[in-house]
A and B are shown apart, each in its own frame.
Chain A
Amino acid sequence: MNIHMANGDQFRELIEAYALGALDPQERASLEAHLAAGCADCAKALDEARWLVSQLAFLAPDAKPSDMLRGRLLQTVRAEAHATKSAKTAAAIPFWMWGAVAALLLFTVYTSWETIQVRKAIDATNEQAKQEIAKRHELGEELAIAQREAIILTDPRSVKIAMPASSKDMPKLDAMWHAKMGIVVTGQKVPMPAGNRTLQLWLIPKTRGGKPIPSMMLRPDADGKFILLVANPPDVMDATKALAITEEPAGGSLQPTTKPIWVGAIS
């Protein structure tokens, strides 16, 4: 038998007496140290021994406690149970705290209202900023358009296209076509089309029998002025014979539905 096993057996022999509480101090301390070290066998044996020792209680001669003991005990227990219940109820919100709770509630409501107001102000500011940005964007776009128009109108490489009217009552229009920047058509004292009808620009192709190519629509302002920019013409200048403008229904047409009011040949 090796020493380890001998020691294990030695401790095992002490288990029942330990459960009984009969070990002398030195043996008790030694066994407790052994148990603390984690001996599973001894721990299991001790559990069983404790149960076994508990059965010795039934050796005691029968005896019955007095009814007074029962009464005293239940009185104490009922009082403690009631005190626990009262304490739980009272602990919810003691009377003196109602003031503090009310103040906290008011503060919370005020803070919430203030937060809402601040949030509204922030939202309004954000909306304003958005509008400013949109305006700026619009202005930027307008500036870009204006710059393009200016280039088309002033660049020597642009081709000037006179667009006389078919009727003497109608003013003459002018057009400038820049091969890279697009077409600008300008007019003054141009009568407003009736109703919601619109004026529409066409590119008449050089190709024999080629159909007019639809382009942008325009409506003069109240003074009869307009400036139309076609940044990306549907065809190139070299393939185009003439520019024409007709009056069309609102939204334009795929093909001219009326005779051209203005026509400008591209030389």
Chain B
Amino acid sequence: MFLALLANLGLGPAAGEVSLDATLVQGLLRRDVNAFEQLYDRHSRHVYALVLRILQHAATAEEVVQDVFLQLWRNSAAYDAERGPFVPWLLTLARNRALDHLRLKSERQRRREDQTDELPPVAAAPEYERELDERRRVERIRSLMGGLLPQQKRAIELAYFEGLSHSEIAAKLSEPLGTVKSWIRNGLLRLKEGLQTAS
């Protein structure tokens, strides 16, 4: 409660939010429904937005979001707060589930069958990561992405939101494989530089 109040007042924002998320996840281990409710209310919009962007179908997106949060409820022990922040882990989980669902409808299923139920590893936040509130975080990444070359942005979006590989993107864009590899790598490195500079 106290940490949520801190976050709402904009005092020591993300530190409070990060701690609150970790505390709420601990509550899931104790089967605390209230903790689950809070986590859902805090993060369901971003999870749903991401999954909807990937699946492009509201009903299916809601099914996947439900699966994601139920998986969180049933496997909360898989998240280790010591390893890294909660939100990136949750969003990665959501993306993976959405892409799995996408691939179930296509022949690309054969590539990811062994990872259907795997939970993603928790990634540590880098040193340059700033503690921003939700709105600023969204603004930041969208702004940085807007600064990329269109082809870099397109290639990254195809990889991220459609789960395409280098070869598949190269085929889709009718571009050389090496070129696509460079676009994606350089685009991500520019994003990283932008985040480091902003911090």
Contact = CB atoms under 8 A, between A and B. Distances in A.
A51 B18 CA distance: 15
Interface secondary structure of A, over-half rule: helix
Interface secondary structure of B, over-half rule: helix
Given A13-B185, A47-B123, A60 B88 contact: no
Nearest to B110: A25
Contacts of A56: 141, 145, 156, 160
Contact of B52 (A60, A72, A81, A85): A60
A174 interface: no
B20 interface: no
Nearest to A17: B184
Interface of A: 13, 16-17, 20-25, 27, 47-66, 69-70, 72-74, 76-78, 80-81, 84-85
A49 B50 CA distance: 19
Nearest to B160: A56
Given A62-B45, A62-B49, A73-B69, A51 B185 contact: no
B113 interface: no
9 contacts: A21-B99, A21-B159, A51-B129, A55-B195, A61-B53, A62-B45, A65-B61, A69-B44, A69-B66
Interface string B154-186: 001101110111110100000000000100110
B62 A66 contact: yes
B125 interface: yes
Interface in B21-56: 31-33, 36-37, 40, 44-46, 48-50, 52-53
